[in-house]
Structure 1
Amino acid sequence: MIDKREILGLASTQGLTAHVVEKDYALGWALAGIYAHPELSETWVFKGGTCLKKCFFETYRFSEDLDFTLQDESHLDEAFLQRVFSEVSEWVYEQSGLEFSSDSQKFDIFANPRGNPSCQGKLSYRGPVSPRSPPRIKLDLTADERLVLAPVEVPIFHPYSDAPEGGIMVRSYAYEEAFGEKVRALAERTRPRDLYDVINLFRNTEARPAASVLLDVLRQKCEFKGIELPKLTDLDPHRGDVEGAWGHMLDHQLPSLPPVEAFWEALPEFFDWLLGGTLAPAPAAYRLSRGETVIRERTLRIPVGSNAQTYLEIIRFAAANRLCVSLDYVKETGQRTAPLIEPYSLRRTSDDNVILHAWDVNKNGHRSYRVDRIRGAQTTNATFVPRYEVELTPSGPVSIPPTERRSSNFGSRRAGSPYGTRPARAPRTKSRNTSGFGSGPTYVYQCGMCGKKFNRKTMNGRLNKHKAPGGLPCGGRTGFLVDTKY
């Protein structure tokens, strides 16, 4: 198990409590244990807010629960769940030293509003900073949810020093399905976290699916629940409740709480887009200087110190939430400054410096900042309306079709592991899927300079060297998402 100091250090740099970070650590190992278990890995499909955080966007809000759609209803049995989670607990302890107490596991099987079995479970754990009373992870399990798109196999974000070699792979909702279910949840219960999630996903233009695809997913999800497609007017009566609970429900999950007004007032634009309306033209990216390339990797890989990496994560979070950042910055002359900025883009220059492009609020002008000279970064509650394209969010969700699962994804299993004596599973083979979703969507990017189009299986607009349609070399290195094929 990792040292207490690692949790405290991450909590300090990310502006969160140690217990929130510790729970994120425990969630990662719980997922590792579930998807290493041969009876669960093929039929449990990860979903919900924690799925969005762990699978698709590292800068997303921290979440606390594990939600799954089960493709085998027989798993909704208390004795079965007690047995498999005792085995999961033992496996996790052997692999990491993190203790999930089998004695305190609880599983409540009940009939949901459709008369079908569901389960709410609780897993207690004792981590590096846990108090005497062990904290709990809530499980929400259902077997009668409609899966519109084929699940995808993705790595989770687990930024801790004891992460298994090869990472942790899970079987999750496709991004479009996770987005659609969040919109339905906003219509059903109109909670602060649903509003935050929907607008946050909508703002990430690089990862935004085609409106027609999301609408089709949403329509099928609503039909299954027997509810109408949501409309903006349906949400208006709930605004007061959302505003009243905004801080209580979200403050502990975010480094800095953005104002609720900035999210509620974005709903008209979201519904216009969803229902086929015309969006206002998006702001253009700040112009590329000669030799510059945009850095939009899902995980930052830049040759700077660990503190700079942390500051960049704070800046990325602020950019995604349209919050200004207070920098602690050292100029080339050695002068220490504290500019208030709107962050927009991270780029590598021809001489291999990493530059943050931003708008200085107080000086009312564009400025660039070398990342290796940033000594600190703090989000503020001041919001901004983008004047350039925000290029600091990750390049988008990883969409990986189901493939053969390799045991190395979870590290080497130790002798005596509760899973070690079970028969090995046959390799997973791809089945023919007439719906066209089995292999995942194809994203079409178009070079902004020469117009050439490129097909991608992941949402990544960074382009390699290529030739323009006329055969001459093109200097364009950034593509724009123009289509999604299913």
Structure 2
Amino acid sequence: MIHENKDEFIKALGSASKKKGFLLPLIEKDYYLTLILSRVYELSENLVFKGGTCINKVYYVYYRLSEDLDFSMILPQYEATRGQRRKCIQPVKDKIEKFIEQFGMRLDDAGNPGRNESKQYVYYFVYQSALREVETKIKFEIGLRFNPFDTIKKRPVQHAFLHPFTGDPLFDGGQIKYPSGNRSAQRELYDIILEELDSRVGIDTREARSIIKQSYENLTEEVPEDIGKIIERREEAPTKEPKEKVV
């Protein structure tokens, strides 16, 4: 793992920070978030990724960098009993400490992670920053309130940690399950891109805004290719100073 070589790790962080325009501590946290996602299936095949970090990692927006990882658990029925929820979460509870140790991180002992009659479990993962003498936490939350409404699909986890010469990923981000028909997530993606376009200096965004608006109106389960093209254009457009935006 690249973080095991501190000098090379800091270089990789610097390269990603320069490319994406985020401060180094946020890029470092994004690296650890990506590592966790790359093997989260080891905890359970029934974990479904959701939330703002999902938008970033599934659709590769890289507009906001999140502080946490949010999942739903696929349950045996829509409203599972407390006993069924406990049975679903038990493999995660059994594996989670060793799971996080493989990344050079540790599980924060913050008491019982179960909340709301076993409908929610919250863990905190801790890593030592390579940039400064501090420990940083990542929140890892699993909801067991009800089954996801949307169709569950699987997609590669995207990240910005690339080889400086070849452009190849420095590590495999793996694949993650996500709710592909989540309208609220798609709406958030639409708003994120429009906000980013509005922040641009010296470029005409009218055509881009029109394409995105039309694309959003036609959204079904997948983000249209046109939106992907807009995101690619955003990478090449002039940016403001590095921003510290957190979900």
Q: TM-score, normalised by structure 1?
A: 0.36
Unpaired stretches in structure 1, ≥5 consecutive residues: 94-98, 183-196, 206-257, 259-317, 326-340, 345-385, 398-440, 444-457, 463-486
What code does the residue aligned with 1:201 have? Y
* Equivalent pair of 2:17/2:23 in contact (CA under 8 Å): yes
* Equivalent pair of 2:38/2:157 in contact (CA under 8 Å): no
2:31 matches 1:22: no
Post-superposition Cα deviations, 1:316-365, rounded to whole Å, max 9, x if no partner, equal: xx42xx1232xxxxxxxxxxxxxxx1244xxxxxxxxxxxxxxxxxxxxx
CA spacing shift, 1:34–1:127, aligned 2, 3 Å = farther
Counterparts of 1:139 and 1:6 in 2: how far apart (Å)? 25
Counterparts of 2:11 and 2:122 in 1: how far apart (Å)? 33
CA spacing shift, 1:9–1:126, aligned 2, 3 Å = same
Q: 1:54 deviation in Å?
A: 0.7
Quick one: which of 17, 20, 36 aligns to 1:11? 17
* Equivalent pair of 1:121/1:140 in contact (CA under 8 Å): yes
Does 1 or 2 have the higher relative contact order (CA < 8 Å, sep 6+)? 2
Cα RMSD (Å)? 3.3
Kindly report structure 1 stretches of 4+ aligned residues shifted beyond 4 Å.
197-200, 202-205
CA spacing shift, 1:202–1:32, aligned 2, 3 Å = same
Quick one: which of 296, 318, 324 aligns to 2:200? 324
2:146 matches 1:133: no
Looking at secondary structure, tell me which structure has more helix per residue.
2
Post-superposition Cα deviations, 1:12-44, rounded to whole Å, max 9, x if no partner, equal: 453322111101110000111212x1x51x200
Quick one: which of 208, 227, 246 aligns to 1:389? 208
CA spacing shift, 1:89–1:154, aligned 2, 3 Å = same
* Equivalent pair of 1:323/1:342 in contact (CA under 8 Å): no
SS in structure 2 of the partner of residue 76 of structure 1: helix
Q: 1:156 deviation in Å?
A: 1.3
Post-superposition Cα deviations, 1:195-225, rounded to whole Å, max 9, x if no partner, equal: xx945525769xxxxxxxxxxxxxxxxxxxx
CA spacing shift, 1:132–1:82, aligned 2, 3 Å = farther
Quick one: which of 116, 119, 137 aligns to 1:117? 119
CA spacing shift, 1:158–1:108, aligned 2, 3 Å = same
Counterparts of 1:203 and 1:33 in 2: how far apart (Å)? 28
2:160 matches 1:159: yes
Q: 2:224 maps to which residue?
A: 459
SS in structure 2 of the partner of residue 342 of structure 1: coil
Unpaired stretches in structure 2, ≥5 consecutive residues: 4-8, 76-84, 163-168, 228-247
Counterparts of 1:57 and 1:4 in 2: how far apart (Å)? 22
Q: 1:65 maps to which residue?
A: 68
* Equivalent pair of 1:76/1:109 in contact (CA under 8 Å): no
Looking at secondary structure, tell me which structure has more strand per residue.
1
Q: 1:171 deviation in Å?
A: 0.7
What code does the residue aligned with 2:199 have? L
Q: Report which of the two structures shows the higher radius of gyration computed on alpha carbons.
A: 1
Post-superposition Cα deviations, 1:95-135, rounded to whole Å, max 9, x if no partner, equal: xxxx1124x35452111xxx552111101123432x33310
Q: TM-score, normalised by structure 2?
A: 0.67
Aligned residues: 199
SS in structure 1 of the partner of residue 135 of structure 2: coil
Post-superposition Cα deviations, 1:156-200, rounded to whole Å, max 9, x if no partner, equal: 1122146435x41011121x31x33x5xxxxxxxxxxxxxx9455
